[in-house]
């Protein structure tokens, strides 16, 4: 069983536990992660057009944010998982290629600040990724 250990003082959660939170709530916020408006984050997830699920961690896991995003997506079976740490962002999407994900992040960077307005940034990412799906006939 894979464990997420962000910091010695933090509570470790398994991939299964995080995936369960993503399935039930759409997001997982680790204790000691950067503060975020949970209501805004929940609204972004609820209104997502690409099955967005968000994980906020206090530190980068040993395997890295991208690998964790892939593990969580495998556990969940589909959608778009974004893992955010203070040092890194990892994404895995079942219906988008890495180039489309990168372009969506570039568009989000133009519209919102990931540090000052994480929910706005994620909403812009979601909209950009969904727009690419619409313009290319589907992902």
Enclosing domain of residue 62: 3-135
| Global pTM value | 0.85
Cα separation of 102 and 90, whole Å? 11
Q: How many domains does the chain have?
A: 1
CATH number of the CATH domain containing 34:
3.10.310.50
Q: What pLDDT does residue 135 have?
A: 52
pLDDT tens-digit map of 88-103: 999 999 989 999 999 9
d(CA 100, CA 93): 10
Quick one: pLDDT at residue 20? 94
């Amino acid at each position: 069983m894979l464990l997420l250990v962000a910091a010695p003082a933090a509570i470790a959660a398994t991939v299964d536990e995080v995936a369960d939170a993503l399935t039930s709530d759409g997001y997982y916020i680790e204790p000691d992660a950067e503060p975020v408006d949970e209501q805004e984050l929940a609204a972004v997830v609820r209104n997502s057009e690409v099955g967005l699920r968000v994980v906020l961690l206090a530190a980068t896991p040993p395997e890295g944010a991208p690998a964790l995003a892939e593990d969580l997506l495998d556990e969940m079976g589909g959608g778009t998982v974004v893992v955010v740490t203070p040092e890194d962002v990892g994404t895995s999407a079942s219906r988008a290629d890495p180039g489309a994900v990168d372009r969506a992040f570039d568009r989000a960077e133009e519209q919102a600040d990931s540090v000052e307005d994480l929910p706005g940034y994620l909403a812009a990412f979601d909209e950009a990724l969904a727009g690419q799906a619409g313009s290319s006939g589907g992902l």
